[in-house]
């Protein structure tokens, strides 16, 4: 059940929340468990939060599940995260029954063939959903995304004088999506870590010491309440 059945009066829900799901490893370490157990717990939190966002009527949620830099982690940890992704994708009912439209952003090419097939099936199967637009960033890096957009522009032969900010935005993985208004990073780190660096130009940020597996809808509600006290001026006065 949502904590609020209705949005409290006058409360503004961001249109697009982006989350850096950080702290799984430390959560596991604190319990003398392997890092992979932290990712298992993190995946549960992810499902819970995505479902909750859908229930309160959020339109866009984008989560950082695996970065272009995460391949540097031990092989078994990378495999563990990929297996969690497989489990999630196989359970396609996640999206269908819940009216969630799922999309993957990032360079999907290096992923295993079975994962790529599952991604395609789930994206196709949920394309008519009208609830939450859930984007999962896999093998995603903001600098890589911008580099690829520049290559597309050059390959399309667009004259330099005709290139606008929109030309670039349209060629990012997030093309057609509104920019995130609100970026949440738990686990006590204060960095963007190459996440949605172009799209976050005017986003509000929310940090918390809570580790991602411990993140609950109550934390999200607190974050949204704080968002409501921000004064967004977009460079104006």
Residues designated as active site:
22, 70
Figure out which of the listed residues 14, 23, 106, 141 binds ligand FPP, where binding follows CB under 6 A. Answer: 23
Q: 171 or 185: whose CB is closer to ligand FPP?
A: 185
25 binds ligand FPP (CB under 6 A): yes
Q: Show the binding pattern over residues 115-144: x = contacts ligand FPP (CB under 6 A), - = does not.
A: ---------------------x--------
CB of 209 to ligand FPP, least distance (A): 12
Figure out which of the listed residues 14, 16, 17, 24 binds ligand FPP, where binding follows CB under 6 A. Answer: 24
46 binds ligand FPP (CB under 6 A): yes
186 binds ligand FPP (CB under 6 A): no
Which residue is nearest to ligand FPP, using beta carbons? Answer: 25
Q: How many chain residues touch ligand FPP (CB under 6 A)?
A: 17
- Token pair, residue 234, equals 């977009």
The three state secondary structure string of the chain is CCCCCCCCCCCCCCCEEEEECCCHHHHHHHCCCCHHHHHHHHHHHHHHHHHHHHHCCCCEEEEECCECCHHHCCHHHHHHHHHHHHHHHHCCHHHHCCCCEEEEECCCCCCCHHHHHHHHHHHHHCCCCCCCEEEEECCECHHHHHHHHHHHHHHCCCCHHHCCHHHHHHCCCCCCCCCCCEEEECCCCCCCCCCCCCCCCCCEEEECCCCHHHCCHHHHHHHHHHHCCCCCCCCCC
Q: Show the binding pattern over residues 61-100: x = contacts ligand FPP (CB under 6 A), - = does not.
A: ----x----x----------x--xx--x------------
Q: 24 or 133: whose CB is closer to ligand FPP?
A: 24
Report the interface residues with ligand FPP, using CB under 6 A: 21-26, 39, 42-43, 46, 65, 70, 81, 84-85, 88, 136
């Amino acid at each position: 059940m949502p904590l609020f059945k209705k949005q409290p009066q006058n409360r503004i829900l961001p249109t697009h929340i982006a989350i850096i799901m950080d702290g799984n490893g430390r959560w596991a370490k604190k319990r003398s468990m392997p890092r992979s157990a932290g990712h298992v717990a993190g995946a549960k939190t992810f499902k819970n939060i995505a479902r909750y966002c859908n229930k309160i009527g959020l339109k866009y949620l984008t989560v950082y599940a695996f970065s272009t830099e995460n391949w540097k982690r031990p092989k078994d940890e990378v495999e563990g995260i990929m297996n969690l992704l497989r489990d999630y994708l196989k359970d396609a009912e996640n999206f269908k029954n819940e009216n969630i439209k799922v999309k993957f952003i990032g360079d999907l090419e290096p992923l295993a063939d079975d994962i790529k097939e599952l991604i395609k099936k789930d994206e196709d199967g949920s394309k008519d959903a009208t609830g939450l637009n859930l984007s999962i960033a896999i093998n995603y890096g903001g600098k890589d995304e911008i580099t690829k957009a520049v290559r597309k522009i050059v390959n399309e032969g667009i004259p330099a004088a005709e290139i606008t900010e929109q030309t670039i935005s349209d060629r990012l993985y997030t093309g057609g999506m509104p920019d995130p208004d609100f970026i949440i990073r738990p686990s006590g780190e204060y960095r963007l870590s190459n996440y949605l660096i172009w799209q976050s130009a005017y986003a509000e940020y929310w940090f918390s010491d809570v580790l991602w597996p411990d993140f609950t809808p109550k934390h999200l509600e607190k974050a949204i309440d704080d968002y409501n006290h921000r004064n967004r001026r977009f460079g104006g006065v």
